[in-house]
Amino acid sequence: MVRLLRPLLRGTTYTRLLHLWVPMLMESLWLFIDPERPWVPALVLVPLGLLPAVRRGEGVQARLLLTPDAPESGISEAPAASWRDRLRTVAWLELRWVLGWVTCFTTVFSLVTAVELAGCAWGHAPSGMPLLDRLSPAPAWALLSPLPLLALYGAVAGLGALVTACARRLLGPSAAERLAALEERTERLLERNRIARELHDSIGHALTVAVVQAGAARAAGDPEFTDRALGAIEETGRAALADLERVLGVLREAERPASARPTLVDADRLLESARASGATVDADVSGPVAAVPGPVSREGYRILQESLTNVLRHAGAVPVRVRVAVTDDRLLLRVRNALPEPIPGPGRGSGLRGIRERAALLGGTAHTGPERDEWLVRVELPLG
């Protein structure tokens, strides 16, 4: 019983009733002008619904009155962008007009019926309303007088649900709007994944270098080596803080240019950081690296950073061979390192997934895995 009465306590029930009554304002004005042709406003709605802006106005009104508390109403607020949208708007206006008439008649008839039954129960004669003018005064009518009010309650709740469902159907987003919304959500997800990769690469590299340097300095017991290790940790930490500030700026929607991200031109600092950690790095860079397009160069830098980070994290201070070659149409990047005995360390393969994801997003290929007693990272990225 309590569940059936819940709509009485919801504001949505009454805002939907108001939405159903709004078309009758224009209809009531017209009835003062020409009561013999009440259907004329329905004809006016046809050209009116063909205006693109009308769809937006109806969508805003429907979301405000029919679904005020719904985060996803399923009702569009965009203007009509095609003839299909315009015809759907015309159908909506006509349907709303019909439902307004039904609501008006149901409300007035139910209230008058309840009053007539109560009057007959008190001994008053019927006022001549059709279907009720034959009633004879009797106290028993008092038992039936609440029924019209219950019928009105059910009609209001039912018509409100019906008009809301029709609004979602006729004023809902078109196929083009749904596609645009899907593309927007996809772009947001891609941006979140890119930021996650940026944080993983920059902060992960800095922490790995700091851990390796600190461990090597403690084991060496050499003050001069310790000073160099602390300097490398400081430099890597500063670079990581700069990367972190840039990523946080993106999260705060600050207008930071993409060119502020490091590129392959800045690869020397990665190589020096790995050398300072004790690894022997043999680097060979050929071709016009500075001419590599920005997106490819930035992703290539991150791939090289993640590759060196994985070497330091999982293999330690071992010899590393780095080859970066730029041809007419491709960027070739190879990182090889020896495979010593397994050493303890964290890692679940997220770095390798990041390398493959970065390469795939640019239409390239990535191979990671053992090859002839070495671990090989081989990436090819198209330049165009």
Tell me which of 309 and 53 has the higher pLDDT: 53
Query: Helix, strand or coil for residue 335?
Result: strand
pLDDT of 177 reads: 72
CB 274 within 8 A of CB 337: no
Q: How far apart are CA 200 and CA 355, in angstroms?
A: 11
Mean confidence (pLDDT) of the chain: 81
pLDDT of 266 reads: 85
Q: Is the pLDDT of residue 348 over 60?
A: no
Dihedral, 335, 340, 346, 348 alpha carbons, nearest 10: 60
pLDDT band at 343 (very low <50, low <70, confident <90, very high): very low
Q: Is the pLDDT of residue 91 over 90?
A: yes
pLDDT of 2 reads: 60
Q: How far apart are CA 97 and CA 86, in angstroms?
A: 17
Tell me which of 315 and 44 has the higher pLDDT: 44
User: Pick from 329, 377, 375: which is nearest to 356 by CA?
Assistant: 377
Two tokens at 171? 């004023």
Two tokens at 73? 């109403």
What is the mean pLDDT of the segment spanning 330-356? 70
CB 218 within 8 A of CB 244: no
User: Pick from 201, 198, 174: which is nearest to 75 by CA?
Assistant: 174
Q: Is the pLDDT of residue 145 over 90?
A: no
What is the mean pLDDT of the segment spanning 235-257? 64
The CATH label, of 3.30.565.10, 3.30.420.40, 3.20.20.70, 3.40.50.300, for the domain at 261-383 is: 3.30.565.10
What is the mean pLDDT of the segment spanning 279-293? 88
Condensed to tens digits (0 to 9), the pLDDT of residues 302-321 reads: 888 888 888 877 777 788 99
Q: How far apart are CA 337 and CA 384, in angstroms?
A: 30
Q: Is the pLDDT of residue 187 over 70?
A: no
E-only strand ranges, the chain: 281-286, 320-326, 330-338, 365-370, 374-382
Q: How far apart are CA 300 and CA 264, in angstroms?
A: 6
Q: How far apart are CA 22 and CA 42, in angstroms?
A: 14
Segment among 74-78, 111-115, 175-179, 221-225 with least mean pLDDT: 175-179
pLDDT band at 375 (very low <50, low <70, confident <90, very high): confident
Under 8 Å CB-to-CB from 274, ≥6 apart: which residues?
A: 209, 281, 308, 311, 312, 320
Question: Rounded to two decimals, what is the model's pTM?
Answer: 0.52
What is the mean pLDDT of the segment spanning 152-173? 91
Under 8 Å CB-to-CB from 4, ≥6 apart: which residues?
A: none
Tell me which of 127 and 154 has the higher pLDDT: 154
pLDDT band at 331 (very low <50, low <70, confident <90, very high): very high
